[in-house]
Amino acid sequence: MSFQQQFKCVLPNGIHARPASLLESVCNPYCCDISLHNLRNGNVGNAKSMLSLVSTDTLLNDEFVLMFEGEDSQTAMLALTQFMNERFPYCDDEIAPLEAQREIPIPQSLSRHKPFLLHGKSLVNGIVKGKLVASSEADLSLFLAHSSVDAGPSFQQVHGAVVAELEAEKLQASGKESEILSAHLSILKDREFLAYIEEQLAHQSIAHAILAALESFKAMLERSNSQYLRERVLDIKDVALRLLVSAYPNVNIEQQSQLSEATILLARELTPSQFLALDKRYLKGLVLSDAGSTSHTVILARAFDIPTLVNVDYELCHAELNSDVYLDCLLGVIAIKADENVSVYFERALKLQQQQKQRFSEHTDKLAITSDGHELEIAANIACSIEVAPAIKGGAQGVGLFRTEMLFMDRSEAPSEECQYQEYREALIAAQGKPVIIRTMDIGGDKPLDYLNLPKETNPFLGYRAVRIYPQFLELFHSQLRAILRAACHGAAKIMIPMVHNVEEIRWVKQQISLVEKQLEEAGLEYNNSVPLGIMVEVPATVFIIDKLAHEVEFFSIGSNDMTQYLLAVDRDNDAVSSLYNSLSPAFLRMLGQITSVAKQYGRWVGMCGELAADPKILPLLVGAGLDELSMSSPNIAKTKQQVAGLSFLECEALYQQACECSTRAEIEMLLNEAISKRSALPLLDESCVFTQLEVKNKEEAIQALVGNIGVFGRCQNALLLEEDIWAREEIFSTGLGNGFAIPHTKSDNIEHSTISIAHLNNAINWHSDSGNVDFIIMLTLNKAHSDQHMQIFSKLARKLIHEDFRGQLKAATEPSEIITILQNELFSS
Ligand code: PEP
Ligand code: MG
């Protein structure tokens, strides 16, 4: 007996693993053979095998027929028809398009070239190019070498063990993870998959059989037109790997990522020690599918200035392995399959970035002094001694935060006193006499250590962490103190205690230091008995007793990461409240002044070592609040020094006072914007913004080059936003004026120093206007505050350009200074 029924696929992602396993489970109870015939591509699959169903490549709107052959085929057909009409259409959610995560608009100089972009969230800025390589990708062929004699468990035992393992994991899992484990379980139990392996086992080893099955199903899926289905190959690989690891437990597949060329590393997650083991000469960028913005791997990536993108779809990226990609963490994208236009965009973006770095580096060896002579110290945050030398080279005036807990993580037992002594000593020597603030271990909370067996907590950030655990792990604390005091003979060490919230805690710490000094004395070991002691100000309670604490310690450093979360009661690692995690609140700002004013009365200095210390927007407020030191990841140091040089201390103080009187964050932001536009302006016409021989092939390149250059010379904070304003104008009407001239223009909030940029092009380009090609561009980017000038300059220029001799003069000029003089005379002399 045979029956058949035709259907249409209404699932947005086609019949992929999840709907296929549901369909399989509905078909399985019937004895008859059930097959799916795709009428678009002619593929046929066994409807009782999820993998076989997936391999039919049935996509949205495909017509297909279900065929039933055998005893109960009529009953099966009726049941399946009902299932197909009632349940199947609703069994899969549409996958949210990746664009949903986008934060910064893609500039039109890029988007007009229709690039392939994968989006994510940028945690460390920068643009890089490299080969996309997966971290520790297991080399499955290693198993073949061990499979000459299968003396271990039988395939049935291996299979049973892996099913049990996955089921146990699934019990612990929830959400997406649980769904993925279910999908993997159905692959593991798939009839066709198992039948294929069994067939191979008749004449091959277990490793060969599993790998042959993997290859066969991989080939089937890779033929699919759907990218989504092609990417399911990874799930089959995962399952195959689990089987192989279980069959050959002695094979070591944990390969270190050996990098040998410029690499952008892709990983689902990366531990701090895995990150540290990577060769930084070749590691250009990191792409992680999952990591929080204050996770310690990300903090390390920031310290090493490795552009990092997170929340990226791992599988979409994985499909591009081993190809050259551009990682642009300003835009939050990875550009894959870049064609010539897209490559030209990114190569120019890389060059602009390089020019900007070059400009910041002029400040590396300078002091951070405001225009009216107020000096701040700019120090580095580090996590291990090897970071000190590059930080000092990058302009750090010391180490403001040495996060020592990183030495304790990713190992099976605590580092010995000797090992710590060496590490601190090396850091102090590398600092060449500059101060190094060694923070004692900040363990617990978000930084658990398996070997301490700390209890699981509902509220770890409010729980057993940092100074609070020291009494229980007294010997561990003592050995760290001994290591610091001994190392302090080799440089200017200071000790800083995390999470202190009252005077009792710091008095207890001081008793421990005395005790340890006695121990060192008795042991006849050399140590420094006058190491300055300070605390992190990161628990709001300390703010109200700074006077009392000032009697106990010599310095304070504000941990803005924790202080923001505790002051505002917003978990720093919880995405759901991330929009509330913002230090630009009147409460936070007022708190800063309270700390500095009281600390100063007692002659104590105050630094800041959280992420906020490197925020250029907030810098005038930190200066105005009276902070003495700012400590940050080293790539930000030269830039911050340059920014400090452009500020006036008196103005910052006044601005800070005004900000403290604001009621809302929006008011503070407005105040900061106004202050920017008031700061002493650079000249409208300057040689740095004139190109006499610009080589570009199209309008997109020209606008990117001119606006990017404005960013390089610090005339705007965000060139990408300014570019949007220029294009917005172009969209209303093209700014080609004829005779080879164009005047793109905008009045905008995104330019701090109004600028006229000029470019004489080597070749005429299509400006997409009725007035023909263009080889001379005069771009006006004027701040909204100067908007009265905007129309004046534009209309004057347009009038002048009617005259052939004026045009001739401009085109004949070979030096930027000549062009400036011509424009100066014609536009601004009365
Ligand atoms: C902070 O809380 O701001 C800080 C610097 O410490 P951590 O980020 O290590 O908790
Ligand atoms: Mg902290």
And the tokens for 826? Answer: 């014609």
Q: What is the pLDDT of residues 705-753, one digit of tens each?
A: 999 999 999 888 789 999 999 999 888 888 888 899 999 999 888 888 8
| Residue whose structure tokens are 């097959």 | 35
Q: Is the CB of 442 inside a 6 Å radius of any atom of ligand 1?
A: yes
Residues with CB under 5 A from ligand 2 (ion): 538, 559, 562
Q: Determine the 3-state secondary structure of 551 from DSSP.
A: coil
Annotation marks residue 184 as catalytic:
no
Atom of ligand 1 nearest to the CA of 446: 10
Burial-class residue 96 by CB neighbours within 10 Å (0-12, 13-18, 19+).
exposed
pLDDT for position 272: 62
Q: Which of 206-215, 256-265, 530-539 has maximum average pLDDT?
A: 530-539
And the tokens for 582? Answer: 């913002």
288 DSSP β-pair partners: 267
Q: What is the pLDDT of residues 755-791, one digit of tens each?
A: 999 999 999 999 998 888 999 999 999 987 666 777 7
Annotation marks residue 745 as catalytic:
yes
Weakest mean pLDDT among 65-69, 197-201, 675-679: 675-679
The number of residues in the chain equals 830
Rounded mean pLDDT of the chain?
89
The yes-or-no verdict on residue 257 having pLDDT over 70 is no
- Give residues with Cβ within 8 angstroms of 758, minimum separation 6: 689, 690, 691, 776, 777, 778, 779, 816, 819, 823
Average pLDDT over residues 190-195: 89
Instruction: Indicate if the alpha-carbon torsion angle 300, 303, 308, 310 is positive or negative.
Output: positive
pLDDT for position 456: 83
Weakest mean pLDDT among 139-143, 173-177, 635-639: 173-177
Question: Please, how many CA atoms are within 13 Å of residue 471, restricted to the half-sphere of its CB?
Answer: 8
And the tokens for 37? Answer: 């015939």
> Could you tell me what percent of the chain has a pLDDT over 90?
59
599 confidence band (pLDDT: 50, 70, 90): very high
| Ligand having the closest approach to the CA of 381 | 1
Largest CA-CA distance found in the chain, in angstroms, rounded: 100
The yes-or-no verdict on residue 263 having pLDDT over 50 is yes
Count of CB atoms within 10 A of residue 682's CB?
16
Q: What is the pLDDT of residues 416-463, one digit of tens each?
A: 999 999 999 999 999 999 999 999 999 987 677 878 888 888 888 899
Annotation marks residue 203 as catalytic:
no
Q: What is the pLDDT of residues 119-139, one digit of tens each?
A: 998 888 899 999 999 987 567
The yes-or-no verdict on residue 97 having pLDDT over 90 is no
Q: Is the CB of 538 inside a 6 Å radius of any atom of ligand 1?
A: yes
The yes-or-no verdict on residue 101 having pLDDT over 60 is no
pLDDT for position 634: 87
The yes-or-no verdict on residue 510 having pLDDT over 50 is yes
Higher pLDDT, 66 or 86: 66
Average pLDDT over residues 364-393: 94
Residue 353 and residue 360 in contact, taking contact as beta carbons nearer than 8 Å: no
Q: Look up residue 99 and give its amino acid.
A: E
269 confidence band (pLDDT: 50, 70, 90): confident
pLDDT for position 752: 83
**CA of residue 594 to ligand 1 center, whole Å:** 20
Burial-class residue 554 by CB neighbours within 10 Å (0-12, 13-18, 19+).
middle
**CA of residue 140 to ligand 1 center, whole Å:** 41
pLDDT for position 731: 86
Q: Is the CB of 565 inside a 6 Å radius of any atom of ligand 1?
A: no
Q: Among 295, 441, 465, 536, which residue has the most ligand 1 atoms within 8 Å of its CB, making it the best to mutate?
A: 536
Q: pTM for this one?
A: 0.64
- What is the spatial distance between Cα 16 and Cα 701, in angstroms, rounded to a whole number? 41
pLDDT for position 95: 42
Question: Out of 745, 753, 760, 790, which one is annotated catalytic?
Answer: 745
- Give residues with Cβ within 8 angstroms of 487, minimum separation 6: 421, 424, 425, 427, 428, 493
**CA of residue 461 to ligand 2 center, whole Å:** 10
pLDDT for position 547: 98
Residue bearing the CA closest to ligand 1, atom 4: 559
> Could you tell me what percent of the chain has a pLDDT over 70?
92
The yes-or-no verdict on residue 677 having pLDDT over 90 is no
- What is the spatial distance between Cα 537 and Cα 526, in angstroms, rounded to a whole number? 31
The yes-or-no verdict on residue 343 having pLDDT over 60 is yes
**CA of residue 213 to ligand 2 center, whole Å:** 50
| Ligand having the closest approach to the CA of 559 | 1
pLDDT for position 102: 37
pLDDT for position 578: 80
Average pLDDT over residues 383-387: 86
Q: Determine the 3-state secondary structure of 714 from DSSP.
A: coil
Q: What is the pLDDT of residues 644-654, one digit of tens each?
A: 998 999 999 99
Weakest mean pLDDT among 64-78, 482-496, 542-556, 740-754: 740-754
Weakest mean pLDDT among 53-62, 492-501, 801-810: 53-62
The yes-or-no verdict on residue 618 having pLDDT over 50 is yes
The yes-or-no verdict on residue 98 having pLDDT over 90 is no
Pairing, β 33-38 against β 44-46: antiparallel
